[in-house]
Structure 1
């Protein structure tokens, strides 16, 4: 299959592009700079040099398009609309990368019992309303003869991530303690990047037009992460108020570290037979790159 990956130099798009290439697909990645083009070439990925408008024009040469870029919400909606218009009536495949931030809940570090399967109703996080609108546009495109689907991963971890574990290591450098917000019982359902890439491959091969697929494999409360980091770094833990958290991680980081975002993946598991191979995010504890953050 000829697959165009938009966002192939990013964390998720890069992993997906490499995995699809290893499976034998002919993968092309969008490169917006010479440095990005060199990275893709070194990984054996064909290069489409240009911008997001270039990608829209290139859909004619692809059998499938994976959108894994992370532009501003208004740009994302406009580009996705353009891609879907270009693919309308072709029967080609389009896979859109979303995230569980759409059903994030601002709990200030408290646990939430809410845990959402693919089509469960929820109240959208206001900052993610544009992302949810893009999801809905993609799924509706199935009625325009596009095999359009959405993959919605939880918190993605693995080599090179910038998620909760790395953020808590970074708090050690800034405060001398491994920090969490409030009670620290809030949790994100998480998933390893390799398992995300495998799910994308399964969706491309066997996914149903108009469907949403979750990618989640486990949960670890933030306080547990902080306690594990503290043991590794030889420092105490510390609970922060949301206001204090903003001075450590910035306002958006404080929002993320104080929120809950829990999900389940029954459609991915039953329809596609997807089974995550990596379920314990705390296996990252002690990695040299993380320890370096605590010492920075």
Structure 2
């Protein structure tokens, strides 16, 4: 297939573009960075989704739309322009193509735990940041189309620059302070499992709709973090603070940052993602897409 991958200069988009090119597909990766994805059998094209589509965006069979502004402190207009407007531009550019949209589990209600949440849960009335709000708006744009919408949670693996590495950066004096001590269940998503889901979703005869994507079974977040710290040879212990205390500290940090026009060191969005259960039912992906994920693993994490 001739496949376009947007956001190919990022972790998820780049990993997916590489895997699809390795599969033998003709892949064109699009990104905003001058020096983005590279593959001996692939093609990388600079494209800011605010601008007109380049010539390379034509003659495509399928698109995997990964480009997004994944910043929980982004101004609302910037997030909407990138995540809603960008999706609209990609949808118009690749009209008639198999459309796989990379959404996020963040579209679920962040004000309460997600306990084996299913895709048909009512949409929340409010969001904690512009990121989930804009991603939910992009999903509404695609409603009623033939798009396949994937909702992974906490994607990790080789090349990850966000999830686990940020936790490493938060270690201070051998201590990692986390809400509830991260003693909560989470559905993590290895990048190879997400790649398998995308392969399934690209089937032109496959179903459309919304699908949660995650590893085979939920895990306790604290156990995964502890193993990752050990593999990174970083001696540290997790210090638990009550969720309510972390929430109030984040609220204060956000208010102070807003007054000073800076970034807060802690946000309520981050607290909500770390301090309560975030598990997601993947039965629909298994049943309809033929998704067969493996369990959470940090094998090889020493080289990440």
Query: TM-score, length-normalised on structure 2?
Result: 0.77
Residue matched to 1:120 = 121
Number of aligned pairs? 272
Residue by residue over 1:156-190, the C-alpha shift from the partner in whole angstroms, topping out at 9 and shown as x without a partner, is: 11112245543333232x24213321353333311
Confirm or deny: 8 A CA contact 2:79 2:134 kept in the other structure: yes
Residue 94 in 1 paired to residue 93 in 2? no
Residue 284 of structure 1, CA deviation: 6.4
Q: Say yes or no: does 1:85 pair with 2:86.
A: no
More helix by share: 1
Distance in structure 1 (CA, Å) of the matches to 2:62 and 2:275: 37
Write the distance in 2 (CA, Å) between the matches of 1:227 and 1:245: 23
8 Å contact from structure 1 (residues 116, 263) kept in 2: yes
Question: Alpha-carbon deviation of 1:93?
Answer: 1.1
Shift of 1:281: 4.0
1:201 corresponds in structure 2 to 199
Cα separation, 2, equivalents of 1:164 and 1:32: 22
Aligned twin of 2:287: 270
TM-superposed CA distance for 1:194, in Å, is 0.8
Matches within 5 A, 1:89-238: 90=96, 92-106=97-111, 112=113, 114-123=115-124, 126=127, 127=129, 128-140=132-144, 142=145, 147-162=146-161, 164-172=163-171, 174-205=172-203, 208=206, 210-217=208-215, 218-228=217-227, 233-238=234-239
Which runs of 5 or more residues in structure 2 are unaligned? 70-77, 254-263
Alignment partner of 1:51 is 2:48 = yes
Unaligned runs of 5+ in 1: 290-296
Return the alpha-carbon distance in structure 1 between the equivalents of residues 240 and 139 of structure 2. Answer: 35
Residue-by-residue CA offset, 1:11-49 (whole Å, 9 max, x unaligned)? 11111111111122110011434322xx42x45321223
Deviations 1:223-273 (A, max 9, x none): 334544566644333113415679895325444323442211112101122
Contact conserved, 2:180 with 2:275, CA < 8 A, in 1? Answer: yes
- Correspondence for 2:259: none
RMSD (Å), alpha carbons: 3.0
Aligned to 1:74: 80
Query: What is aligned with 1:293?
Result: none
Quote the Cα distance in structure 2 between the aligned partners of 1:239 and 1:226: 13
Following the alignment from structure 1 to structure 2, what is the Cα–Cα distance between the partners of residues 180 and 18? 34
- The alpha carbon displacement at 1:283 in A equals 4.5
Distance 1:280 1:49, change over 3 A: closer
